[in-house]
Amino acid sequence: MTSDDDPFHDCELDPEAILGTHTFEDVLFTDETETPVNVLTGETPAHSQATVEEAKEFAASIDTETPQIALPASVESQVETQSKPYTAAAFFHFKATGSLERHRAYHAAYEADAFAVDCEADYESGDLTITVERTDEA
């Protein structure tokens, strides 16, 4: 097999590392996501007030074929940029999967015909579950 045929040729991890079902706990935007508080008023600024539904709609509105998830934005970025408390990213983003190596491996599997990749975002618990299976096995 040449590197052109191997979707994992640029990956540090081989497919075995991501096959099966993996749950990444507490990585999604939830109602419990930390937001900044104005120390003078004790209130959360308007730009940081958001619901899970808004976050899910925002992630779904990104024009891409790759499923998007809503990740929590850091309190620092919310304050510095006056942004929402969430951001959208591909479901295999390293902030969700915990490493750039996993990010690359999930991306490779998602792009390859030899694998079926499914993701389930549970915004109640904040957990993201990714399942990868080989499609060429009968």
Q: Give the model confidence (pLDDT) of 56-93 as tens digits.
A: 999 999 999 999 999 999 999 998 998 899 999 999 99
Q: Say if 23 falls within a structural domain.
A: yes
| Cβ(120)–Cβ(128) below 8 Å | yes
Domain count, the chain: 1
Q: Whole domain around residue 107: which residue ranges?
A: 15-134
> How would you label 19-45 residue by residue, b for 16+ Cβ within 10 Å and e otherwise?
eeebebeebbbbeebebbeeeeeeeee
Least confident of 41-55, 60-74, 121-135: 41-55
Please compute the mean of the pLDDT values over residues 109-114 and round it to a whole number: 94
Secondary structure of residue 46 in the 3-state scheme: helix
Residue 3: inside a domain, yes or no? no
Asked if the structure places residue 64 within a domain, the reply is: yes
Kindly state whether residue 123 falls inside one of the protein's structural domains: yes
